[in-house]
Each structure stands twice: as structure tokens, then as C-alpha cells.
Amino acid sequence: MIDIGIVIGSTRPGRNGENVARWVHDLGAKRDDARFELIDLQEHALPHLDEPLAAASGSYDHPHTREWSERIARFDGFVFVTPEYNRSTSGVLKNAIDFLYAEWADKAAAFVSYGVDGGVRAAEHLRQVLGQLRVATVQAGVALSLHNDFENFADFRPAAHQEDRVTAMLDQLVSWSRALRPLRV
């Protein structure tokens, strides 16, 4: 069985990200080819990066880094649910990614973004970041518009076609997560 972590990329009070991530999780739970688990950055009190050595060293001084490492290491792939903040992803998500290295490598990832224009600039920035970490990012993604998929920019009401986008994305994510398994052994 493939294990997929769904990372909630916002910690803002009143965030839209949690409802979006729960929607993806509910759709994932209907599948029989993978298990899905929410990873909420609010539950991991990571400070601004405070490790003296780069994560590629695999040497971590702080308990919060070791806990974060253990949380991430066991997954085969990830869905990053990202808001668009100032044409990029959130600082809190980038910081959480920067803490680790091998825990992300040789895994697959997909993006569910949201913003005024679907958050696609955030997703594409993340794709670039994850390239450095040897993460294989799938082509299919979900871009949710604050105008069309939310009411009053806050009440999440995804358009009907978005479920098909999630299915296409998860199909690619699960197959690439499985295909990369030999590299992770």
C-alpha cells in the first residue's frame, strides 16, 4: 500500500487551507490504492530554520527537527495544499520543507493550490523548490479559484469539475509514488 501525506501549507487563523486539505483527504479515502493522512503544520511547532548544518547532512541537533523528520520519512508521496502568498507559496511551508532533505527525496508530489488566480504561481514555485530535493512532481494538479470555488473568498464550495481534477492528480501521484519505490529501498 502506498502512503500519501497531505500537507496543509497554511497556519493562518481562519485559513482556507484546512477545508481544502480535508476535501482532498475525503476524496483520497475513497480509493483503494493508497492511504492518505493529513499533515498539519500547526501541529509541528517548527521555528525559523535553526539547524546549524544543512539538511542534506542528515544531522539534526533539535528534537523538533527529529520529530518532523520521523513524521515525513514514512510517506511514499505528498499532496502539497498551498495558498498563494505574494505570488509564491507560504513562508511556513517553505521553511518546513527546508528543514529536511533525504525524507523528501525519491518520492512523488502533487499540488493543490488556491488563490485569486488558482494559486498556480505558488504551485510552480514549489515545483522548482522540490526539484532540488529530488522530488518527482506530477503534471496533473488542482487550481482552486477564490472567485469560483469559494463563496466570499472563505466558504469552500469547489466547482463540480474539480473532483475529476483531484482524481487525475491522485492517479498520477500514486503511480509515480509506487514506481519510485525501488530508489527508496
Judged by the rule CB under 6 A, the positions of this chain that interact with ligand FMN are: 10, 12, 15-17, 83-87, 115-117
In the bound state with ligand FMN, the residue whose beta carbon lies nearer, of 78 and 114, is 114
In the bound state with ligand FMN, the residue whose beta carbon lies nearer, of 105 and 120, is 120
**Which residues are CB-contacts of 86 (< 8 A; sequence separation ≥ 6)?**
none
**Is the Cβ–Cβ distance between 83 and 23 less than 8 Å?**
no
In the bound state with ligand FMN, the residue whose beta carbon lies nearer, of 66 and 87, is 87
**What minimum distance in Å lies between the beta carbon of 174 and ligand FMN?**
25
In the bound state with ligand FMN, the residue whose beta carbon lies nearer, of 136 and 143, is 143
**Is the Cβ–Cβ distance between 82 and 111 less than 8 Å?**
yes
**What minimum distance in Å lies between the beta carbon of 166 and ligand FMN?**
17
The dihedral built from the CA positions of residue 179, 182, 183 and 184, taken in this order, carries a sign that is: positive
Q: Residue 125 corresponds to which cell in the numbers above?
A: 514555485
**What minimum distance in Å lies between the beta carbon of 127 and ligand FMN?**
17
**What minimum distance in Å lies between the beta carbon of 9 and ligand FMN?**
7
Identify the three-state secondary structure at position 18.
Answer: helix
d(C-alpha 101, C-alpha 164), whole Å: 32
**What minimum distance in Å lies between the beta carbon of 71 and ligand FMN?**
20
The residue type of 162 is: Q
In the bound state with ligand FMN, the residue whose beta carbon lies nearer, of 8 and 100, is 8
Mapping DSSP onto H, E and C, the string for 58-123 reads CCCCCHHHHHHHHHHHCCCEEEEEEECECCECCHHHHHHHHCCCCCCCCEEEEEEEEECCCCHHHH
